[in-house]
């Protein structure tokens, strides 16, 4: 079965769709470009499906490379038989390939290799053959005595070591035992003696107390449990082991190595089997199972992080506001920055309302003056240290001064990383590094995507155990998420930062910098075609990027849309034939195109214009609302003017909240108090799926003030 057929079978799509996608990927087309502008070729596959094809293709090709290495190594050892070669070529997983390779894989010195060097291979063969002979094992072993083998028992012990390794290395035994262990194995965890479990100082019970005496079938372990146990084990808080039922491993061995009661060597094989299982096979299978569980849990955790990041980046912009951003702090004070509706800094200050200075009145006066001076309409507060104390300060200011003003808490993750970055120095020259974070916090509501792309995605804390997973895989996945969102939204070529431009299809960091430099030297772009004057913007790169770059107010109205330049002749023909006024309102354009489509069936029009129906549908959509921002459909964040304390919460109270993080066991919801509440998965209706940024109605179920915990229910 070819790679194309395997992928098609796994993803349950047509082989032709996979083949076309692979051809496009191999021709260096990006996933966003293929998804958006090559729908006819792929049969309308969405971006997620294309990325799955890309990932599976990469895995299959990596398996092929490893297969060739294995075949080459065994060939060089002159041990490759036609049967073994056929088995190696037939395997479909890395684990099966490594099982077949294991007996031939160069090893460090083992008890078996030492025994081989002592010349005990022939005696091991007798144990495996189980001959029916009148001679005892000791009598046969006498012939193997030498300077390094002093007696018969030493000879038999060495021979058993060789047999034990052969049993443990047997591919079928390992495969069967591994499968049974994953199905019927049971994991046990215990608190290590004298271990200190103090990660969370607020939780007197200990962070990992739930796992001090814990056991569960491995097939029932949930990803967050696996990752928590792994972390606790790494911190020397827990001891972990997996019990594999004896019936399973013994049956796997007996199918291939069975002592004959009529042979005097039966006892030797029985001893070798016991040794193989306990010393070699079971520890290896336990490691395999732990690795498999961890890999599965990490993939899941990365997926959770990716989805949360996607939804965070997709939050709708709050446009038209003069925003005051506050980066809260205690000892070093709260950093304040004000930006105009375009994100340009207008003013800044540092206030010290909290301990140890406690200059709350002076801080209120400073804030009031800045708000009045710049006509601030919205305050954003970072959610880090002293955020809730600062929230109370702002709420007091609003109430005391009767200002027509609202505030909201924003995720400040990565603000300090941005503050010290070269990009921040270039964007905010001369501004103190401590104040740049406040500017970032202010801008994050004006356009979350444009601001958050300036930060390493791993620094945006919306994941689960993100520091415990494969960092390379995490980085690759998060990069693809940012790329996906940026290209789905589109980028204004005349205002975008190098960080934002760098995620556009086909454009990397270097070309993004060149685009900004060209813009600074020559003024704004007036057409997409002009982008080709930038050094490094070749024909292929332009093809990949052009449809995602917007030129607003340029020479050609189509340059402000998501219509690709290669489709301009089709779009212009539609505009001409439909007598469409591009300057009309979206409603008027929709009515004109609707009437046009009633006169000319889309199938007939597509054939006449020489274009596919999916592309034509996209052109119609863009002619109605050019460059429409898909983020407009999502819930706007909750703007507040007052603050609640945990002491104000009572069981049964209902509140509106914003989902801040979605994890395996539920969602954390900001309800306007110091601590986010947990909406456990058992409280979420089965027909509901939550995303970061969702605004939902919740009910207070339980408040634990001393532990800083709030339990929520669906309202």
pLDDT, tens only, 135-144: 999 999 999 9
Q: For every residue of 553-574, which 3-state class applies, written as one string?
A: CCCCHHHHCCCCHHHHHHHHHH
pLDDT band at 648, cuts 50/70/90? confident
Task: Give dist(CA 684, CA 116) in Å, integer.
Answer: 62
Q: What 3-state DSSP class applies to 411?
A: coil
- Whether residue 199 is predicted with pLDDT greater than 70 in this model: the reply is no
**Whether pLDDT at 318 is above 50:** yes
Residue 206 zone, left/alpha/beta (φ > 0; ψ -120 to 50; rest): left
Q: Is the pLDDT assigned to residue 85 strictly greater than 60?
A: yes
Three state DSSP letters for 67-130: HHHHHHHHHHCCCCCHHHHHHHHHCCCHHHHHHHHHHHCCCCCCHHHHHHHCCCHHHHHHHHHC
Residue with tokens 């990992």: 208
Residues 6 or more apart whose Cβ sits within 8 Å of residue 87: 100
Instruction: Say how far apart CA 95 and CA 585 lie, in whole Å.
Output: 60
Q: Which domains does the chain have, with CATH numbers?
A: 3-104 (1.10.10.650), 111-301 (1.10.3500.10), 323-488 (3.30.420.140), 509-632 (1.10.150.310), 646-714 (2.40.50.140)
Place of tokens 């995602």: 548
Q: Packing angle between helix 171-184 and helix 282-313, nearest 10 degrees?
A: 60
pTM for the full predicted model: 0.86
**Structure tokens, 87:** 């088995």
The pLDDT tens digits for 600-646 are 999 999 999 999 999 999 999 999 999 888 988 887 888 888 877 78
What tens digit of pLDDT does each residue of 487-518 get? 999 999 999 999 999 999 999 999 999 999 99
- For residue 677, count other CB atoms closer than 10 A to its CB: 27
d(CA 369, CA 411): 26
pLDDT at 202: 47
201: confidence class by pLDDT, cuts 50, 70, 90: very low
pLDDT, mean of residues 40-50: 97
CA distance 130 to 141: 14
What is the rounded average pLDDT for all residues in the chain?
93
């Amino acid at each position: 079965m070819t790679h194309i057929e395997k992928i098609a079978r796994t993803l349950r799509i047509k082989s032709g769709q996979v083949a076309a996608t692979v051809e496009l990927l191999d021709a260096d087309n990006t996933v966003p470009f293929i998804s958006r502008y090559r729908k006819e070729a792929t049969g309308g596959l969405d971006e997620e499906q294309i990325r799955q094809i890309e990932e599976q293709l990469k895995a299959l090709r990596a398996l092929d490379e490893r297969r060739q290495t294995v075949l080459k190594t065994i060939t060089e050892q002159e041990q490759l038989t036609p049967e073994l070669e056929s088995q190696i070529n037939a395997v479909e997983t890395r684990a099966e390939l490594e099982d077949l390779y294991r007996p031939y894989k160069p090893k460090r010195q083992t008890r078996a290799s030492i025994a081989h060097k002592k010349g005990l291979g022939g005696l091991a063969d007798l144990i495996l053959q189980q001959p029916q002979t009148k001679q005892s094992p000791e009598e046969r072993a006498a012939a193997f005595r030498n300077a390094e083998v002093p007696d018969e028992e030493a000879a038999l012990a060495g021979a058993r070591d060789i047999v034990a390794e052969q049993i443990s290395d047997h591919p079928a035994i390992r495969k069967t035992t591994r499968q049974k262990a994953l199905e019927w194995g049971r994991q046990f965890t215990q608190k290590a003696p004298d271990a200190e479990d103090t990660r969370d100082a607020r939780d007197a019970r200990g962070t990992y107390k739930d796992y001090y005496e814990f056991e569960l079938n491995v097939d029932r372990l949930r990803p967050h449990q696996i990752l928590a146990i792994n972390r606790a084990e790494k911190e020397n808080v827990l001891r972990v082991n997996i019990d594999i039922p004896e019936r399973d491993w013994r049956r796997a061995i007996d199918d291939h190595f069975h002592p004959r009661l009529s042979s005097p060597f039966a006892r030797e094989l029985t001893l070798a089997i016991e040794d193989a299982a306990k010393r070699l096979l079971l520890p290896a299978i336990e490691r395999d199972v732990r690795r498999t569980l961890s890999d599965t849990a990490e993939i899941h955790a990365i997926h959770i992080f990716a989805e949360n990041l996607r939804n965070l980046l997709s939050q709708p912009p709050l446009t038209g506001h003069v925003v005051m951003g506050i980066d809260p702090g205690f000892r070093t004070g709260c950093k304040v920055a004000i930006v105009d509706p375009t994100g340009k800094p207008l003013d800044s200050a540092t206030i010290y309302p909290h301990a140890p200075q406690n200059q709350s009145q002076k801080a209120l006066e400073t804030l009031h003056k800045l708000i009045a001076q710049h006509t601030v309409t919205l305050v954003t507060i970072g959610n880090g240290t002293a955020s809730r104390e600062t929230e109370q300060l702002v709420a007091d200011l609003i109430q005391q001064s009767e200002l027509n003003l609202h505030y909201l808490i924003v995720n400040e993750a990565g603000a300090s990383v941005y503050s010290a970055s070269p990009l921040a120095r270039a964007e905010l020259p001369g501004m103190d590094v401590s104040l740049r974070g406040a500017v970032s916090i202010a801008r994050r509501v004006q356009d979350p995507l444009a601001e958050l792309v300036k930060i390493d995605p791993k620094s945006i804390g919306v994941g689960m155990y993100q520091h415990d997973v494969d960092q390379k895989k995490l980085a690759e996945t998060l990069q693809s998420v940012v790329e996906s969102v940026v290209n789905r939204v589109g980028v204004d070529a005349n205002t975008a930062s190098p960080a934002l431009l760098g995620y556009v299809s086909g454009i990397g960091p270097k070309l993004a910098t060149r685009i900004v430099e060209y813009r600074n030297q020559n003024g704004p772009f007036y057409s997409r075609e002009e982008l080709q004057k930038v050094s490094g913007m070749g024909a292929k790169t332009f093809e990949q990027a052009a449809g995602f770059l917007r030129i607003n107010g340029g020479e050609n109205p189509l340059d402000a849309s998501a219509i690709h330049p290669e489709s301009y002749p089709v779009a212009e023909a539609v505009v001409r034939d439909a007598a469409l006024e591009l300057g009309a309102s979206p409603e008027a354009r929709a009515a004109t195109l609707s009437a046009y489509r009633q006169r000319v069936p889309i199938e007939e029009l597509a054939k006449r214009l020489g274009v596919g129906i999916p592309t034509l549908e996209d052109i119609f959509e863009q002619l109605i609302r050019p460059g429409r921002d898909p983020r407009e459909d999502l819930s706007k964040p909750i703007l507040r003017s007052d603050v609640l304390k945990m002491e104000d919460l009572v069981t049964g109270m209902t509140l509106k909240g914003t989902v801040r993080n979605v994890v395996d066991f539920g969602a954390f919801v900001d309800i306007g108090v110091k601590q986010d509440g947990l909406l456990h998965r058992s409280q979420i209706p089965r027909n509901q799926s939550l995303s970061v940024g969702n605004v939902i109605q919740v009910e207070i179920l339980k408040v634990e003030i001393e532990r800083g915990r709030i339990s929520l229910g669906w309202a």
